[in-house]
Amino acid sequence: MNTPGAIVRPDPNRAERFLILAAAGTPDEQVVVPLENGPPIGEYALALRAHDLSQGQLEPPVSIRVDRTRTIADGGEVTARLRREKLKEILSLWSRLTTRANYHALHRPNLEAPFQPGKDRVHYAGRHFDDREMILLMESTLDFWLTSGRFAERFEADLARFLGVKHCSLVNSGSSANLLACMALTSPRLGERRLHRGDEVITVAAGFPTTVAPILQYGAVPVFVDVTLPTYNIDCAMLEEALSARTKAVMVAHTLGNPFDLAAVKAFCDRHGLWLIEDNCDALGSRYRLNGEWHYTGTIGHLGTSSFYPPHHMTMGEGGAVYTRDARLHRLVESFRDWGRDCWCPGGRDNTCKNRFNQTFGALPPGYDHKYVYSHFGYNLKVTDMQAAVGCAQLEKLPGFIGARQRNWAFLRRELDDLADRFVLPEPTPDSDPSWFGFLLTVRPETGLSRERVVAHLEAHGIQTRMLFAGNLLKHPCFDEMRATGSGYRAIGPLETTDRIMHDTFWIGLYPGMKPGMVEYMVHHLREAASGRS
């Protein structure tokens, strides 16, 4: 169809699309890549030599068509000098085409290959993407801004709009998001409500360690209460017992996408004047009905956090976010994120406030450059624009991701319902609409089953499993010294359910990348394990 050296002129009446590249200076080295099986990308093609674009000069033989109606340069004797804007357009088009070709040639076949039971591994989670993420990543790379820039700003605005909050700050991980949410409460600007060293924060031990780590690292005291089954969330009946004169906040996660009882926790916090931080890292897109109105989790407390690590509801590789309705808390989060500086000018922009050199701070000389005034001991926890670009594409797909997770969870719950005598099956919290992260199962040891045997059977058949994170964080080596001295934390009661989770609980995946047949395969082998035929 296309001979070496041929110039391809797309016919508007045909649906075929081609990317024709000449890597060197001779037409004989052209590579023709058909794209007719890809998504609609318009009727255009490139046929050119590499050095043409490096010089901004088009010489025969060349054919570049960027839409249905206009040919920039054609064969024969045409020679064109490109404006900078047009050269950028053509190079950007070339990059998009090559990136899309890469996805369809190298990634899509693997992603769309049918599931082969017993051969393919069933992962508990993973990145789920197409060429859209790769194209935006390429665009941000060509910008070469490197740090946070236009894609980060776009993501912050789009996520805030999705959640229905005013403010969103993008950071480099969910753990950093938790750190900033906690540290924002330590600012002297909060006056009497400020979190001081030695103050207490109520939380749980049955979760991920970086929900608790910021409390300890600052020098506050975590107070651990138990959780309940089958929601795996904080036992709200223990909140009043956990309260003391030093209590300043509650910081707790929505377990694997299942919202905790926000009505009870918020009422407790409001009653006692406490801050509420929602660790929403495993629950992006979950909703809770409060006072008859639906809200996304992470937006009911004073601060919410998200993680965009690959297993999570959406990803940008590494990344996280802190969001809030409170302008003052938002400013504090961004101060701690951006080195602790007082200035709020975005990176690369100076004197946004028009007062850069005419203010006085602390003991500094009058007029000291506001860009170098520090109101907190902060960090640099920003994300790169390349990561944010991937997040922008993922965020467009988030509603679909949430729906897929909910369908997979519902299938598992329905198909495993008759195993309730063998496992404690998960249940959504009343007045909630979870965006599930995983499917939790707690073995009933009185039936003769053990978690170890069930997990071994699943793993032997290529089904990934995970514990409920720390199980009981207090039993881990990081608490050895504190356990030995009996200082640095408080636990309310023996945390019996938390210990049960540590011994008997595991979970399996339900992420949107599950191929047809995978969820059924997991059900089959869970039944085998429960029957003792493993």
Distance CA(152)–CA(143), nearest Å, equals: 13
Contact 362, 116 (CB under 8 A): no
Provide the pLDDT for residue 533: 65
Please give the positions annotated as active site: 312
Provide the pLDDT for residue 361: 92
What is the model's pTM? 0.87
ω before 230 within 30° of 0 (cis)?
yes
315: tokens are 């990803």
**N- to C-terminal Cα distance for the chain?**
56
CB neighbour list of residue 171: distance below 8 Å, 6 or more residues apart: 177, 180, 319, 320, 321, 322, 337, 381, 382, 383
User: Among the CATH numbers 3.40.605.10, 3.20.20.70, 3.40.640.10, 3.30.70.20, which is that of 134-345+370-386?
Assistant: 3.40.640.10
Provide the pLDDT for residue 60: 52
Query: Nearest 5°: phi and psi at 102?
Result: -60, -45
ω before 311 within 30° of 0 (cis)?
no
Distance CA(305)–CA(319), nearest Å, equals: 11
Provide the pLDDT for residue 30: 37
Query: Nearest 5°: phi and psi at 44?
Result: -155, 165
**Closest alpha carbon to 185 in 201, 163, 173:** 201
Alpha helices in 68-107 (DSSP H): 84-102
Helix 385-415 / helix 150-163 crossing angle, nearest 10 deg = 30
Provide the pLDDT for residue 8: 37
Provide the pLDDT for residue 78: 37
Burial of 529 (0-12, 13-18, 19+ CB in 10 A): buried
Coil vs helix vs strand at 408: helix
**Closest alpha carbon to 398 in 513, 485, 314:** 314
Distance CA(127)–CA(316), nearest Å, equals: 9
Domain residue ranges of the chain, discontinuous segments joined by +:
18-112, 134-345+370-386, 398-531
Query: Nearest 5°: phi and psi at 286?
Result: -70, 150
Q: Report the topology of domain 398-531.
A: Aspartate Aminotransferase, domain 1 (3.90.1150)
**pLDDT digit of tens for each residue in the chain (534 aa)?**
333 333 334 443 433 333 444 333 333 333 334 444 443 334 444 555 445 555 555 555 554 544 333 334 444 443 445 567 766 777 787 788 788 878 888 899 999 999 999 999 999 999 999 999 999 999 999 999 999 999 999 999 999 999 999 999 999 999 999 999 999 999 999 999 999 999 999 999 999 999 999 999 999 999 999 999 999 999 999 999 999 999 999 999 999 999 999 999 999 999 999 999 999 999 999 999 999 999 999 999 999 999 999 999 999 999 999 999 999 999 999 999 999 999 887 777 788 778 899 999 999 999 999 999 999 999 999 999 999 999 999 999 999 999 999 999 999 999 999 999 999 999 999 999 999 999 999 999 999 999 999 999 999 999 999 999 999 999 999 999 998 898 999 999 999 999 999 999 999 999 999 999 999 999 999 999 999 765
> 246-270 burial, b for 16+ CB within 10 Å, e for fewer?
ebbbbbbbbbbbbbbbbbebbebbe
